[in-house]
């Protein structure tokens, strides 16, 4: 998505540790109108797949998942990090390592919100090594639902997670795919 | 908002510690279409106030703040909990006590996303004793921006936070105001 690539080039900053900061429009301040344009692209790609539910994970996945769920007219479920006091009863859970924060956490989803007959589209803002994504796929598998695809705003292709998923036959749509980042330059795939 | 009160009565559960669980539509699974209806009500109330920015706090505030920001055509900023590796540079911050989780955390917003000439509408899913809200107001005050009002999905009026804010002259709109909760019943104001 050319408009997203332009926005990344204009507003993104590369921080040490391969971190791409896009806090001006995606995950701190949010350009909501632009997120709806991104959601249109995701819908276009997945609209023939009979999606019944969107799954994402807190925090910043929620902002992009809300417009996608709205456009596709299905409920959204977000996995919570850790087991909070507000989560009661039976949950699906998966342990995930955060390379950004250098710790492990549990992603949890209450069983009542994912059903065997669901067709799930997973949405997230970033895909890098795929640690969070593998946790979400694990949760989908535990529920017995079908995984219909994955929609990502920004994939850091050089970190390999997206291609490992594609090799498993999963339909991964990334609206911007970064091939390489240096302190001063960002290069996209294609 | 009658439709919200009905949804709370039909789908909500009261847990020990005055916790109202509305995970089926508001803060775990999300009925996105319904959130857009709620956003219409918020817009109707605040549309003459020249709002320039929506402020909320992660996590579940984001889901309701996205439709409000979309309808009002302004950017959304969400305060982050703790200072993560992705937050660099100067931030506004406020210490907040979470009664739900029994701990303290810092809410932080990068200074570049709140400006002196902003008119802020704060949005959140819940208002109880007002701890999180007072932290967000503190952050707005630090930035020099004007606070134009507060829009809440569900206020637990009996916990007093909302009325303390109204006594300060702040325009607080709550789409559902709960007067009293028991294990088996929920009573609304009016």
Give per-residue pLDDT as tens, B47-89: 999 999 999 999 989 999 999 999 999 999 999 987 455 555 5
Q: What is the pLDDT of residue A50?
A: 97
Residue B176 has pLDDT above 90, yes or no: yes
What HEC string does A17-41 produce?
A: CCEEECCCCCCCEECHHHHHHHHHH
Provide φ and ψ at B34, rounded to 5°.
-70, -35
Assembly ipTM: 0.94
Q: How far apart are CA B18 and CA B65, in angstroms?
A: 24
Q: Which residue has the higher pLDDT, B51 or A19?
A: B51
Window 117-136 of B, Cβ < 8 Å to A: none
A9 interfacial to chain B (CB closer than 8 Å): no
| pLDDT exceeds 60 at position A149 | yes
B60 or A69, higher pLDDT: A69
Q: Which residue has the tokens 């959304």?
A: B76
Whether the CB of A34 is below 8 Å from some CB of chain B: the reply is: no
**Chain B within 8 Å of A99 (Cβ-Cβ)?**
no
* Under 8 Å between Cβ of A75 and B32: yes
Structure-token pair, residue B70: 């979309």
Q: Which pLDDT band holds residue A86 (cuts at 50, 70, 90)? A: low
Q: Which residue has the higher pLDDT, A50 or B17?
A: A50
The rounded distance, in Å, linking the Cα atoms of A155 and A172 is 10
Mean pLDDT of all residues in A41-66:
97
- Contact list, A17 vs chain B (CB under 8 Å): 85
Contacts of A70 (CB under 8 A, 6+ apart): A39, B32, B33, B36, B67
Higher pLDDT, B113 or B88: B113
B119-157 pLDDT, tens per residue?
Answer: 999 999 999 999 999 999 999 999 999 999 999 999 999
Cβ contact A101–B87 (<8 Å): no
Evaluate if residue A89 carries a pLDDT over 80. Answer: no
Measured distance CA(B28)–CA(A86) in Å, rounded: 10
What's the gap in Å between the CA of B121 and the closest CA on chain A? 14
Asked if the model's pLDDT at residue A88 lies above 60, the reply is no
Asked if the Cβ–Cβ distance from B30 to A78 is below 8 Å, we say yes
Q: Is B132 helix (H, G, I), strand (E, B) or coil?
A: helix
pLDDT above 90 for A123: yes
Q: In Å, how far are A43, A136, B148 from A27, measured between CA atoms?
A: 21, 19, 24
- The DSSP secondary-structure symbol of A188 reads E
- What pLDDT was estimated at residue A104? 87
Chain B contact set for A112 (CB, 8 A): 24
Over 90: is that where the pLDDT of A159 sits? yes
The pLDDT, as a whole number, for residue B117 is 98
B72 at interface of A, judged by CB pairs closer than 8 A: no
B83 in contact with A, Cβ within 8 Å: no
- 3-class DSSP assignment, residue A117: coil
Closest residue by Cα to residue B189 from B148, B164, B157: B157
CA B2 to centroid of chain Cα atoms: 19
pLDDT of residue A38: 98
Residues of chain A in contact with residue B27, where contact means CB-CB under 8 angstroms, are 86
pLDDT at B88: 55
Q: Return the structure tokens found at B63.
A: 């889901």
Residues B12-35 have a mean pLDDT of 94
Q: What is the C-alpha end-to-end distance of chain A, expressed in Å? A: 12
């Amino acid at each position: 998505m050319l408009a997203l690539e332009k926005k990344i080039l204009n507003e993104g900053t590369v921080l040490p540790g391969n971190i791409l900061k896009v806090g001006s429009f995606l995950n701190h301040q949010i350009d909501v109108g632009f997120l709806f344009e991104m959601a249109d692209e995701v819908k276009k790609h997945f609209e023939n797949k009979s999606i019944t539910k969107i799954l994402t994970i807190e925090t910043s996945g929620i902002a992009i998942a809300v417009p996608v769920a709205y456009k596709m007219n299905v409920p959204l479920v977000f996995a919570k990090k850790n087991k909070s006091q507000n989560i009661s009863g039976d949950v699906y859970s998966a342990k995930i390592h955060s390379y950004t924060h250098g710790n492990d956490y549990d992603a949890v989803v209450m069983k009542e919100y994912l059903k065997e007959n669901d067709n799930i589209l997973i949405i997230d803002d970033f895909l890098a090594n795929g640690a969070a994504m593998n946790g979400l796929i694990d949760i989908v598998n535990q529920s017995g639902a079908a995984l219909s695809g994955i929609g990502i705003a920004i994939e850091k292709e050089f970190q390999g997670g997206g291609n490992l998923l594609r090799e498993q036959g999963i339909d991964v749509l990334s609206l911007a795919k970064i091939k390489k980042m240096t302190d001063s330059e960002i290069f996209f795939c294609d």
